[in-house]
Chains A and B, each alone.
Chain A
Amino acid sequence: MGIVTVSIVRFGGSNCDRDAERALDHLGIDAEIVWHEDGLPAETSGIVLPGGFSYGDYLRAGAMAARSPILNEVREAAIEGTPVLGVCNGAQIGCESGLTEGAFTTNESARFQCEHVSLRVERADTPWTAAYDEGEVIQVPIAHGEGRYEIDDDRLETLEAEDRVLFRYCDEDGETSPEANPNGSKHDVAGVLGDRETVAVLMPHPERATLPDIGPTDGQGILRGFETA
C-alpha cells in the first residue's frame, strides 16, 4: 500500500464533496476536491464520486455528470484498478455511466427521505467491507429522493449469482423486510459492486457516519477501502 491520494470529483451541484474530504481527512487518508473540468490529477490513487445534485439532477439524477468528459478518465482509472466509490448522487452517476449495473430511481414514497437506516454487509472480502464481518449490521444514514434500486430480473439474478450486492437494507437484527427497506429498492439492494470489487456504489452516506464528534462511526470501514484496495 503506497501513499493514497483520493480525488473527490466535484461537479456543479455536488454538495457532499467537502464532507467526504473531511471524513477521509479524519481517517488520515489524503484527499482533495477536483473540479470536473480540470480532470483527474496524475497522482490520483482513489476516486470518490460524492453526493449532491450534479447539474441540479435536471435531466435525471446523475445523467448529465455521467456524460461529462471526466467520467471517461474515471472509467479508465477503474479498469486499471483504481478504487472508485460512488455515494448517493455518485452512485446514480456510477450506474448512469456504466461503472455499475442497474439504476437508482424515485423512492417508492415519491419523497426525499433523510433518516438513519440499518445495512447488512453481504460480503466482507472486498476493500469496502474488509472492516466488517459478513452479515454484520451497520447504521449509516440515507438522504435521497431517488434511491430505489432498479434492475431487470435477469441481470439482478446474475448480479446476485456473482455476489456483487455489497449492502442490503435490513432491520436492526439483520432481517430484510418491506418495512426495513426505506425506498422500495429491488431485493433491498443499497449498494453494489462494479465489474471489479474495487468499484462500488451505494446510496447511504458513509462520510456522515465517520466523524466521532457528531455521532456513530459505522461508516468508517467503507471509506477505509481506499487504504486496503
Chain B
Amino acid sequence: MSLADSDRELVVEELGREPTPAEAALFENLWSEHCAYRSSRPLLSAFESEGEQVVIGPGDDAAVVALPEDGTDENHSSTYITLGIESHNHPSYVDPFDGAATGVGGIVRDTLSMGAYPIALADSLYFGDFDAEHSRYLLEGVVEGISHYGNCIGVPTVAGSVDFHDGYEGNPLVNVACVGLTDDERLVTAEAQEPGNKLVLVGNGTGRDGLGGASFASEDLAEDAETEDRPAVQVGDPYAEKLLIEANEQLIEEQLVESARDLGAAGLGGASSELVAKGGLGAHIELERVHQREPNMNALEILLAESQERMCYEVAPDNVERVREIAQRFDLGCSVIGEVTDGNYTCTFDNGSGDSETVVDVDAHFLGEGAPMNDLPAEEPSQPDTDLPRTDLEAAFEAVVSSPNTASKRWVYRQYDHEVGVRTSVGPGDDAAIVAVREAECGLAISSGAAPNWTETAPYVGAQAVALENATNVAAKGATPLAAVDCLNGGNPEKPDVYGGFTGIVDGLADMCETLSTPVVGGNVSLYNDSAAGPIPPTPTLALVGTKAGYDAPALSVDADGDSELLLVGDHGLEREDARLGGSEYLRQFDGSDRFPALPDDPASVVDTLAAVADDESTRAVHDVSHGGLAVALAEMVTDEAGLEVSIPVDGGVDPAHVLFHEQPGRALIQTTDPDDVREAFDGVAPVVSLGAPTDDGTLEIDIGETTLETDADAIRTLRSTIESELE
C-alpha cells in the first residue's frame, strides 16, 4: 500500500514540493481509514457527546467524565473516570495471542495519558462459528493474550461479551475498553501546551515491529494474511507496561507532565504530531535521539515503528532530569527527542555521519486533519421476510440454552484476573460488573457488548437494541447510565450495501443513546473487516457505564424465599401477542427469519424505573432478559438451592416458541416480596406480568400454552457448559 494518487496531489499542493519518503509514509498512515476515519467521520456527528458530566469528550486519547457525588446526586464530584475503547481486529486474526494482548496495552496507555490509573477492562470478542476449529484456535489465542497481558499489568477484566457468528470466520473482532480513575488535579490531556517544552519518550526501545500497522488495519484481510502480514503485528511486553503504569503514576503525582500521548498507530510520528497539532503548535524532533532496540534503523522506521509500551510526554525543561530519574527507577528507557515549537512539525535525522538531514517538515494540523473525507454511497438494508421454523419446544429450549452464544462464558473469564485492585463487587458472568470507586463513594456498573444477530437482521433497530440492552444490564444492578464509548466495526465501506448497514448501526446506536440521555463520549471505528468469506455483520460494540450509591446489587439468581413472586417487566411481545423472533438465537439455531421486535415506547423510563426497583429492599433478584430470550433468562436464574415454577399466559393462537425465545431488549425478570410496589412503579412505563414463584428444590418448571417444560439446575449447568466442555 502507498499514498493514494489523489492524496499525494493534495500533499504536493500543500508542501509546494514532492513529499520525502518519510513524509509520504506519515501521510499514508495518518490519512488511513484507521487513523483519519475518512469514511466514518461524516457519520459520527450523529452522536450526542455532550452532557454536564462530560469533562473531555471525543478526540483525546480517552474521554473524561465526572462521577456524581455519592453515586446518585445531581452534583458532580471532582473524581473523574476515563473511558476508552479500541479495536485490535486484524492483528488478532494474524496472531491472536499478541494481537489481542497489544490491544489491551494500547487502551491502557490511552488511559495513562489522561493522568489516570486504569481500574477496569472490558473485552467484547467476536468469532466465527464455535464449531469451526479455526474459530476455537482464535478464541483460545485471543483469550490467552488478553489474560496474559491484562493479568500481568494488574488491571481487572470485569466485563465483556463473546459472540459467535459465521460472518466473523475470516475476520474476528477484539474490542477492548478501559476505565481509568483520575481527578480534577491529576487530569492531563493530549494537547501540547507551550513552545520550548521538551518532548520526552519513555518506555521500551524502538524496534522495527509493527511497521505500517495503521495502513494494515485499513485493508481487507487476504487469505494468506496469517503469514504475509505477521511483521505488521506488534509483540507486547506486559512487564514493561506495568512499569510504565507505575512510572506514569509517579510522573502524574509529582505533576511533571504538561501533556501526554501514547504511541499507538503510526508510532512516534503519529503520537508526536497529533500532540502538537492539538495544541495548534509544532515540534522539532531529532530522530537519532530515540532509544532503539535494533541497530541501523533508518528515519522512517524510527518514525513509524509501532513498538509497544512507549509514551510521549511534554515536559517543562526544568523537570526533564526528574522525569529521567523516575524512568530509570522503573528500568524504562528515556530520551529527550526534541521540543515543542510554534512552527512546523519537523524531524531531522543524523545516521551517525554527523550530517543532520531534514526528513519531515510539514504543518502538524494539515498532517492530522487534512485528509479529505469520503462521501460514499449507501444502500438501505432490506427488511427480512418472515419464514418461521416449526420446532419441538423442549428441543428448542435445549438448543438455545446450550448455544455457545448464550452458554456460560466462565471458561473465558476464569482466565482473566477480575478481582485485582480490590474494587470488584460484582464480577463477570452477571448482567453488569460493579466496581467500587471509593474515592467518590460511587458504584460503577459496566456493561459491554453488541449482538451480531440483531444488527445483521436490522442494523438500525438492532443497534438501538444494543444500546438499550447495555443500559438495561446496568439498570438490573441498580445503576443509572452515565456515559458510553463505542467501537463501530464494519466491512469494506466502498461496498454500498456494507456502508448502508454501517450507517444504520451508527444512527441506531446514536439515537438510542440520546434517548437514554447517555452521552457517547468517545469511540473507535474499524472498517475493512472483510475477508475472503465476506464482510462481518455490522457490529456496534457499546461499553456503557452507570452509577449507583454503594457497591451492592441484587443477585442474578433467585433465592428460595416462599413469600416472593417472579415478575416479568417490559415484555411488549407478550402484551401485544406479537413476539417477533428476528435476530434471535432461536432463528439462528433453526434457520428462519423474521423482523426484529418492536422496542419499548419509552425506553428511558424503563431503564430508570428498573434501576430504582432493583435497589428496593423488597427486590431479591433481577435479571436482564435478552440473548436467548425468556427461556435463557429463566434458566440462568435457577440454582441448586432455588428453583422456579413459572406459568406464562399465552392465547391458543400464539406459538409458545415466540414468547420464550424472542429477544426484545428492555425487559427484566424481578423476584420481589412486594409485587404491587413493582406494578405501581412500572405503571404507565412498561407491562408487568406475574410468572410464578421460587421453589426450594432447584427445579425449573415452565407452563406455557399446552406444554410444560421441566428441568433442573444440574441439567441446565450441563447445557450451559458448552464452551467449557468443548475446550477443557
Taking beta carbons and an 8 Å cutoff, which residues of A are in contact with B? 12-13, 15-16, 18-19, 22-23, 35, 37, 51-53, 55-58, 109, 111-115, 141, 143, 145, 205, 207-208, 210-211, 213-215
With A53-B239, A115-B414 given, is the CB distance from A16 to B425 under 8 Å? no
Within 8 Å of chain A (Cβ to Cβ): is B536? no
Contacts of A12 in B (CB 8 A): 239, 242-243, 246, 330-331
Are the C-beta atoms of A113 and B414 separated by less than 8 Å?
yes
Pairs of residues from A and B, 8 with the lowest C-beta to C-beta distance, nearest first: A15-B154, A56-B239, A214-B425, A53-B152, A19-B422, A143-B417, A112-B415, A114-B417
Are the C-beta atoms of A207 and B422 separated by less than 8 Å?
yes
Are the C-beta atoms of A13 and B414 separated by less than 8 Å?
no
Contacts of A51 in B (CB 8 A): 420
CB-based nearest B residue for A57: B152
Are the C-beta atoms of A53 and B242 separated by less than 8 Å?
yes
Complex Cα–Cα for A61 and B330 (A): 20
Complex Cα–Cα for A207 and B154 (A): 14
- For residue B242, give the distance in angstroms from its CB to the closest CB of chain A: 5
Contacts of B438 in A (CB 8 A): 213
Complex Cα–Cα for A127 and B438 (A): 30
Within 8 Å of chain A (Cβ to Cβ): is B421? yes
In-complex Cβ contact of A215 among B243, B425, B728 (8 A): B425
Within 8 Å of chain A (Cβ to Cβ): is B436? yes
Query: Range of interface residues on chain B?
Result: 20 to 34
CB-based nearest A residue for B423: A214
Taking beta carbons and an 8 Å cutoff, which residues of B are in contact with A? 144, 147-148, 151-154, 237-239, 242-243, 246, 329-331, 413-425, 436, 438, 551, 728
Contacts of B329 in A (CB 8 A): 35, 37
- For residue B60, give the distance in angstroms from its CB to the closest CB of chain A: 26
Are the C-beta atoms of B728 and A58 separated by less than 8 Å?
no
Q: Which of A51, A57, A114 has the most CB of B within 10 A?
A: A114
CB-based nearest A residue for B416: A114
CB-based nearest A residue for B415: A112
Are the C-beta atoms of B415 and A111 separated by less than 8 Å?
yes
Contacts of B728 in A (CB 8 A): 109
In-complex Cβ contact of B425 among A22, A145, A210, A213 (8 A): A213
- For residue A227, give the distance in angstroms from its CB to the closest CB of chain B: 20
Given contacts A23-B422, A112-B416, 10 further A-B contacts (CB under 8 A): A12-B239, A13-B242, A13-B243, A111-B144, A111-B147, A112-B417, A114-B418, A143-B420, A213-B436, A214-B551
In-complex Cβ contact of A113 among B243, B415, B423, B551 (8 A): B415
With A58-B239, A113-B414 given, is the CB distance from A13 to B419 under 8 Å? no
Q: Which of B154, B243, B331, B418 has the most CB of A within 10 A?
A: B154
CB-based nearest B residue for A23: B422
Complex Cα–Cα for A114 and B427 (A): 11
- For residue A139, give the distance in angstroms from its CB to the closest CB of chain B: 13
Are the C-beta atoms of A213 and B418 separated by less than 8 Å?
no
In-complex Cβ contact of A55 among B239, B414, B415, B419 (8 A): B239
Complex Cα–Cα for A143 and B418 (A): 9
Complex Cα–Cα for A208 and B154 (A): 13
Complex Cα–Cα for A56 and B242 (A): 9
Contacts of B239 in A (CB 8 A): 12-13, 53, 55-56, 58
With A12-B242, A53-B242 given, is the CB distance from A143 to B419 under 8 Å? yes
- For residue A157, give the distance in angstroms from its CB to the closest CB of chain B: 32
Q: Which of B239, B243, B330 has the most CB of A within 10 A?
A: B239
Contacts of A58 in B (CB 8 A): 239
Are the C-beta atoms of B147 and A112 separated by less than 8 Å?
yes
- For residue B418, give the distance in angstroms from its CB to the closest CB of chain A: 6
Contacts of A23 in B (CB 8 A): 422
CB-based nearest B residue for A19: B422
Contacts of A37 in B (CB 8 A): 329
Complex Cα–Cα for A58 and B414 (A): 22
With A112-B415, A114-B415 given, is the CB distance from A15 to B420 under 8 Å? yes
Q: Which of A19, A37, A207, A214 has the most CB of B within 10 A?
A: A214
Q: Which of B153, B420, B421, B424 has the most CB of A within 10 A?
A: B420
Are the C-beta atoms of B419 and A208 separated by less than 8 Å?
yes
Contacts of B417 in A (CB 8 A): 112, 114, 143
- For residue A34, give the distance in angstroms from its CB to the closest CB of chain B: 13
- For residue B421, give the distance in angstroms from its CB to the closest CB of chain A: 7
Contacts of A114 in B (CB 8 A): 151, 413-419
